[in-house]
Amino acid sequence: MLLAARRSRPSAAFGASVLLALLAAAPPSRADSLPARAAHVADYDMRVRLDPDAKTLDGEQRIVWRNPSPEPVGELWFHLYLNAFKSSKSTFFVESGGQLRGDGMPEDGWGWVDVRSVRRADGVLLAPGATFEHPDDGNADDRTVWRVPLPEPVPAGGEIALDVAFQAKLPRIFARTGYFRDYFLVGQWFPKLGVYEPAGMRGRATGGWNCHQFHANSEFYADFGRYRVEITLPKRFVVGATGKRTERRENADGTSTHVFEQADVIDFAWTASPRFLEVKSTFSAEKDVTPQEYAETAKLLGRSLDEVRLSDVEVTVLLQPQRAVQAERHVKAAKAAIKWFGLWYGRYPYPTITVVDPAYGAGGSGGMEYPTFITAGTSSRFNRWPFDRVLFPEAVTVHEFGHQYWQSMVASNEFEESWLDEGFTTHSTAKVMARTYGPWAVQLLGLRIGESHTSRAGNSADRMFDAIRTPAWGYSPGNYGFNSYGRTDLTLRTLEALVGTEAMARVMRTYHERWRFRHPASEDFYAVVAEVAGRDARWFFDQAVERPGILDDEVASVRSERVREPRGVFGEGEGKTTLSTKEARQKEREADEAGGRPWRSTIVVRRRGEVRLPVSLALEFEGGKSQTMSLLDLDFEGARTETMPLLDGQKDGRPWLGRWKRIELTGERRLVSATVDPENRVAIDVNRLNNSRRVEPDGRAAAHWGVRWVFWLQQMLAMVGL
Amino acid sequence: MIAAVTREGLAAARRTPRLAVTLWLLNLALALAAGVPGWLVLRSAIGVLPEADPLRHGLDLGVLIDLVEMRPGLLGGLAFSALGVACLGLLLGAAATGGALEVLTSRDEPFAHRFGRGAGRFFGRFVRAGLLVGVVTAVVVGLLAAPLLALCARLRRESGSELATNAAWAAAVLLGGLVVLFALLALHAARVRIVREDPRRVLPLLRSGFAVVLGHPAKWLGTWGVNAVLGALALGLYVAFRNAVPAGTGPLVLLMLVVQQAFVLVRSWLRVALLGSEIALVQHLRPLPVAKEPSQPAVEPLPGPAPF
């Protein structure tokens, strides 16, 4: 048993006085805006027996499906995800080449799921007439989508109960689910209904099943319901699963039956291994969150203290024994995630969270999210110095917990809009990590890497070919990961800079509250931004999310030189006068001696990318004087720019949206440098180095590294014998 | 024995300070040949970019990321130039070692004459010896380490034991490292004997080099170990200085340069000491046979009166 997380906090008297002061400023409390329950569309009552030697599951389900639409539905569509691992002809295998996230499929480690029978609760057999469907790529060999026509349609608002018998063979772990020796991570293992989307939901014109094939780059999409699952397996296994264990029975045949239940979730996964070390701790809403943190959050969000109050959560970590020393790291990360995700977006509504440390050799099952059940990822090398300050286990734990919010509760369609869950989670994870552990996610022998560096490292002009909002299997090769994760993170940071930190916090809170236990689309997020931030940001999303393109603003050149005396021939006819170069130079010298000629400065700003955002330019002059100006333009393109918001401090005018602009100034001081986006607000800029330029080069940085480079060459020469 | 040869090596280094300076200058000259162009390229890339100013104080990962984005060929070019310098360094190192050993084993001519003589005379044989040892080492390392690495991969795939996998990996690295280390020791022993005995053929002395090293591993490792400890102390002092004094301004960059070159000079001096120790060690383990005085024939007195 672990102690509750130890925290240093101000004395009680100080905390109380802060609380009282902030309470005086807080708005009056109002009704809790968090939805308490989900509308249950698909309930699953399952019994499954694991044969650990054959690696098979024998299962029975009672499924109750409720028609959420105003029209009758005459068929049911199922996901049979495990059939993605059935052969090399599946869509998953063809697209992935048999690997995922660097893990290759072990030889002959195939898996599958067979539906033995499916009957209506009254006994009518439904399997005859069922067909495999291929709505995405027409691959007739793919068996991951199964359509079952019904003898009578389910009426609008009605329900149907089904009894399904199935058998599954688990694959060798390489892509999230399966087995490795006697470790089992069982995800996407049962026949699961797709989502019936009525007309109007997520922008649909007509109602229909949303049930995609299992692709290499896609994840999942399902309806909310209640799950009750009985898992029978040899009693030597330690079991963890979605939800809370409500019962454990010891059977006469040497097996145990574990019963887990959870309502208001979209999936159920479980794990079993005889080697797990089980560590339990409790997140305490009272002890693990300070009064100051509650008060600050309430103020930031403009909510009452009651609305931001959290609930206790039981935290279970199932660790590999050789990594027992990392238990506290996982617990601390889980609790930090429960706290900050809860404070910022809404309290975590479930009583439990289970964190699984995959077995060595089963890393493919790590880094994955299921409702109230996540798999982390670590290694024994993180047990001790110098790797104990590489926060990889923490980052994975926080990220996968984050999916409880963006995926499990706000259940967006991971097939079609992966940015809504992966990108939002990446963005939120960076904030939690920074808040809990400081700016550095990696500190290793002098090297320091922040969470933002990961997103920034992937941002490149080469990413110009994909829009963020693209079906998961539709990205150009190698671009699913960055577009779904890091680029979305950078886009949300840019949005935050545009609308302001407080407004962004309220946007995210409102979006979560409004869409908790529902299925949003991208437009729903845009609408929340417009409503809460008070301005339509569609112009921003059109460029940054809906269309391919990059943003790369640069200061292409800067010059600053004294105004020169004109020279040459002036006037017409008899009145011509000539000023020779020599005479002009003489005049310039005299002017300089008298008090100095003014300086003419010329700056050229360019946009190398297609994305154009309002931007400001900072100018630094000799003597330390500086000036920041909004880049405005008298000519603008199209009515869309009428709604373009201005940045804080901008003068009234229309933002400049052209491809290049020359700015000329004349003044008493020489220009030293010019910087576009001086406050680093535009995180999606693929290259910050070219955002500024100085008139005269400064060789100090190059000298520093030139000297170091020579020294490194000297060390290398010493190693080869010189 | 280790203490004695170490003392002899240090004494040799004290006797020939010009040798350490020469090695340092050769090292610096070749490094500058590649380093200066790299510095100029970097200066042209970032000199006018204020966003790169954090590089004055140390590594800034964000700036590095953007620099690679802006100049994708920069890192590749630097790596290529480093590789070229390494190849030249191998050749120049062979010559410099010949010159150094000649200076340490002879005292008949001026320093520059001895160094140049040794660098030229033994260059070909040193390069041949180096190539032979390199090839043999690569083959032996491959034969020994490859099965271990294959075992490693299998353990990682199948065993489920992180400990066993890491142990196999560590064993492969250790074994490979030991083979390389002993090969270098043998090469050094052979080079000392080449200079001492000036044979035409290299292979017999290479075989002898391996024999003397494998026959007395503790003495060789101990001699190198002492020198390595002294080198580590010097490195530690340098690292402590670097951590304490960030080189963000012009004068501090200059100070950094001076301290770096002082470190390189100390290391060159330690290298001379190591060569001196190796000479002494080879002499102890494979002493040169003492040349016999040719026997004087008996002189018979000439008949007749005695001379004056």
Give DSSP secondary structure letters for A86-125: S-TTSHHHHHHTSEETTEEPPTT---EEEEEEEEETTS-B
Cα–chain-centroid distance for residue B107? 24
Here the ipTM equals 0.90
Two structure tokens written together for A237: 């296994």
Residues in chain B: 308
Which residues 253-272 of chain B have a CB within 8 Å of chain A? 253, 256-257, 260, 264, 267, 271
Q: What angle in degrees, to the nearest 10, is found between the helix axes of A486-499 and A451-458?
A: 110
- Which of A167, A191, A157 is closest to A63 using CA atoms? A191
Sites in chain A below the pLDDT cut of 50: 1-31, 634-650
- Which of A524, A550, A182, A496 is closest to A358 using CA atoms? A182
Confidence of residue B292 (pLDDT cuts 50, 70, 90): low
Residue A587 near residue A565, CB atoms below 8 Å: yes
Which residues 77-136 of chain A have a CB within 8 Å of chain B? 106
Cα–chain-centroid distance for residue A62? 34
pLDDT at residue number B293: 55
Residue A550 near residue A610, CB atoms below 8 Å: yes
Whole-angstrom Cα distance, residue B38 to residue A705?
9
Confidence of residue B305 (pLDDT cuts 50, 70, 90): low
Residue A357 near residue A382, CB atoms below 8 Å: no
pLDDT at residue number A129: 87
Residues in a beta bridge with A603: A558, A663
Two structure tokens written together for B175: 């074994």
Two structure tokens written together for A528: 């929340």
- Which of A202, A93, A244 is closest to A522 using CA atoms? A202
Which of B36, B61, B69 has the CB atom closest to A449's CB atom?
Answer: B61
Per DSSP, A544 falls in state I
The answer to whether the pTM exceeds 0.90 is no
Alpha carbons within 13 angstroms on the beta-carbon side of residue A60 total: 6
Q: Which residue has the tokens 């009704």?
A: A31
Whole-angstrom Cα distance, residue B165 to residue B169?
6
- Residues in chain A closer than 8 A to B23 (CB atoms): 722
Residue B179 near residue B211, CB atoms below 8 Å: no
Cα–chain-centroid distance for residue A628? 33
Q: Do A716 and B97 touch (CB under 8 A)?
A: no
pLDDT at residue number B304: 57
Distance in Å, alpha carbon of A476 to nearest chain B alpha carbon? 20
Whole-angstrom Cα distance, residue A78 to residue A132?
9
Q: What angle in degrees, to the nearest 10, is found between the helix axes of A422-437 and A451-458?
A: 140
Spell out a b/e string for B153-171, using b for 16 or more CB atoms within 10 Å of the CB, else e.
eebbeebbebeebbebbeb
pLDDT at residue number B248: 76
Q: Do B250 and A322 touch (CB under 8 A)?
A: no
Q: Do B47 and A703 touch (CB under 8 A)?
A: no
Which of B53, B67, B89 has the CB atom closest to A720's CB atom?
Answer: B89
Q: Do A717 and B86 touch (CB under 8 A)?
A: yes
Taking the Cβ of residue B79 and every Cβ of chain A, the question of whether any pair is shorter than 8 Å is answered with no
Residue A463 near residue A487, CB atoms below 8 Å: yes
Taking the Cβ of residue B19 and every Cβ of chain A, the question of whether any pair is shorter than 8 Å is answered with no
pLDDT at residue number A593: 86
pLDDT at residue number B300: 62
Point out the least confidently predicted range of A446-455, A692-701, B59-68, B276-285: A446-455
C-alpha distance from residue A598 to each of A557, A579, A627 (Å): 20, 20, 17
- Residues in chain B closer than 8 A to A711 (CB atoms): 31, 260, 264
CA-nearest residue to B259 within chain A is A711
Backbone φ and ψ of A533, nearest 5°: -80, -15
pLDDT at residue number B199: 87
Q: Any idea what the Cα angle at residue A447 is, between residues A445 and A453, rounded to 5°?
A: 155
Q: Do A716 and B66 touch (CB under 8 A)?
A: no
H or E element that contains B152: helix B123-154
pLDDT, tens digit, 9 for 90 and up, residues A208-253: 999 999 999 999 999 999 999 999 999 999 999 999 999 999 999 9
Q: Do A694 and B49 touch (CB under 8 A)?
A: yes
Spell out a b/e string for A192-205, using b for 16 or more CB atoms within 10 Å of the CB, else e.
bbbbbbbeebbeee
The answer, yes or no, to whether the previous bond of A386 is cis (omega within 30 of 0) is yes
Q: Which residue has the tokens 């709604």?
A: A643
pLDDT at residue number A103: 80
Taking the Cβ of residue A436 and every Cβ of chain B, the question of whether any pair is shorter than 8 Å is answered with no
Distance in Å, alpha carbon of A722 to nearest chain B alpha carbon? 4
Taking the Cβ of residue B300 and every Cβ of chain A, the question of whether any pair is shorter than 8 Å is answered with no
- The residues, ordered by sequence, that sit 6+ positions from A247 with a Cβ below 8 Å of its Cβ are A257, A258, A259
pLDDT at residue number A595: 78
Taking the Cβ of residue A180 and every Cβ of chain B, the question of whether any pair is shorter than 8 Å is answered with yes
Pairing of strands A626-630, A616-621: antiparallel
- Which of A205, A206, A176 is closest to A71 using CA atoms? A206
Q: Do A687 and B52 touch (CB under 8 A)?
A: no
Two structure tokens written together for B213: 């090293």
Taking the Cβ of residue B231 and every Cβ of chain A, the question of whether any pair is shorter than 8 Å is answered with no
- Residues in chain A closer than 8 A to B63 (CB atoms): 689
Q: Do A707 and B165 touch (CB under 8 A)?
A: no
Whole-angstrom Cα distance, residue A143 to residue A519?
26
pLDDT at residue number A417: 97
Contact pairs from chain A to chain B, CB under 8 Å: 185
Give SS3 for A442. Answer: strand
Residues in a beta bridge with A112: A169
Point out the least confidently predicted range of A389-398, A492-501, B96-105, B286-295: B286-295
Backbone φ and ψ of A239, nearest 5°: -120, 140
Whole-angstrom Cα distance, residue B117 to residue A620?
61
Residue B23: left if φ>0, alpha if ψ -120 to 50, beta else—which one?
A: alpha
Q: Do A713 and B96 touch (CB under 8 A)?
A: no
pLDDT at residue number B301: 60
Whole-angstrom Cα distance, residue B225 to residue B206?
22
Two structure tokens written together for B134: 């390199």
pLDDT at residue number A422: 97
Which of B38, B53, B67 has the CB atom closest to A706's CB atom?
Answer: B38
pLDDT, tens digit, 9 for 90 and up, residues A605-632: 999 999 999 888 999 999 988 888 888 7
Taking the alpha carbons of A34, A37, A41, A43 in that order, is the dihedral positive or negative? Answer: positive
The runs of H, that is alpha helices, within A120-170 are none
Residues in a beta bridge with A279: A317
CA-nearest residue to A442 within chain B is B61
Whole-angstrom Cα distance, residue A645 to residue A339?
34
Backbone φ and ψ of A273, nearest 5°: -165, 140
Pairing of strands A270-273, A103-104: unpaired
Whole-angstrom Cα distance, residue B176 to residue A581?
75
Where does residue B21 rank: exposed (0-12), middle (13-18), buried (19+ CB within 10 A)? middle
Confidence of residue B302 (pLDDT cuts 50, 70, 90): low
Per DSSP, A543 falls in state I
For residue A674, the one-letter residue type is A
Which of A687, A707, A716 has the CB atom closest to B66's CB atom?
Answer: A687
C-alpha distance from residue A577 to each of A425, A525, A586, A591 (Å): 73, 69, 17, 21
Whole-angstrom Cα distance, residue A599 to residue A668?
6
> Cβ atoms within 10 A of the Cβ of A700, count?
20
> Cβ atoms within 10 A of the Cβ of B129, count?
22
pLDDT at residue number A445: 80
C-alpha distance from residue B261 to each of B78, B81, B243, B245, B255 (Å): 21, 21, 17, 16, 10
Walk across the sheet containing A599-607 and list its strands: A553-562, A599-607, A660-667
Q: Any idea what the Cα angle at residue A84 is, between residues A83 and A88, rounded to 5°?
A: 110
Whole-angstrom Cα distance, residue A647 to residue A676?
13
- pLDDT at position B184 over 50: yes
Taking the Cβ of residue A557 and every Cβ of chain B, the question of whether any pair is shorter than 8 Å is answered with no
Two structure tokens written together for A526: 């845009």
- Residues in chain B closer than 8 A to A453 (CB atoms): 61-62, 65
pLDDT at residue number A19: 40
CA-nearest residue to B153 within chain A is A361
Whole-angstrom Cα distance, residue B84 to residue B103?
28
Whole-angstrom Cα distance, residue B15 to residue B105?
12
- Which of B113, B99, B45 is closest to B77 using CA atoms? B45
